[in-house]
Amino acid sequence: MDKEKIERYRKLGLKMTPQRLAILEYLEGNTSHPSAEDIFRHVEEKFPSMSFATVYNTLEALKEKGLIIELNIEPGKKRFDPNIEPHHHMICEKCHRIFDVFEDFSVDLPPKYAQKFKVKRSQVVFYGLCSRCAEESK
């Protein structure tokens, strides 16, 4: 990770330890939407003495600073997305991979709800089969 990015994280009030840097490096550009467990397993290879709490606390700090998005789109499992640009997701119900959807479209609330609620942001999640799993299912 370059010094400019490290300095940016420091200015946001994040303490930069080697373990945190490894977590940030793993997340940078990662499109797999990893869970905390996935991140822990990856970073643990480099830092065997690191605790799961370090990963979890780092993810919470990144989330609070608006640097990652927590996805609650799979029952009982939180996933994290380092791409904070507005986008939607597709989830394969067979292999459980998550894909980003960057097309711009809107979903409007019906008028009876729009009167009672001001939408700031939204996310649509599509469930189905990815092309690979659909092909295997034939």
> Which of these, 97, 63, 95, 102, lies nearest to 81 by C-alpha position?
63
pLDDT number for residue 120: 85
One fold for 3-81 and 88-137: no
Quick check: helix, strand or coil at residue 108? coil
User: For the structural domain made of 88-137, what CATH number should be given?
Assistant: 3.30.1490.190
Q: In what order do the strands lie in the sheet with 125-128?
A: 98-101, 88-92, 125-128
- Residue 67 has which token pair? 């640097």
Q: Is the CB of residue 123 less than 8 Å from the CB of residue 105?
A: no
Question: How many Å apart are CA 115 and CA 88, to the nearest integer?
Answer: 25
Q: Given CATH 1.10.645.10, say whether it is the number of domain 3-81.
A: no
Per-position pLDDT tens, the chain of length 138: 788 888 888 888 888 899 999 999 999 999 999 999 999 999 999 999 999 999 999 999 999 999 999 998 878 889 999 999 999 999 999 999 999 999 988 788 899 999 999 888 888 999 999 999 999 988
Question: How many Å apart are CA 113 and CA 22, to the nearest integer?
Answer: 44
pLDDT in tens, 62-88: 999 999 999 988 788 899 999 999 999
pLDDT number for residue 9: 84
* Residue extents of the structural domains in the chain: 3-81, 88-137
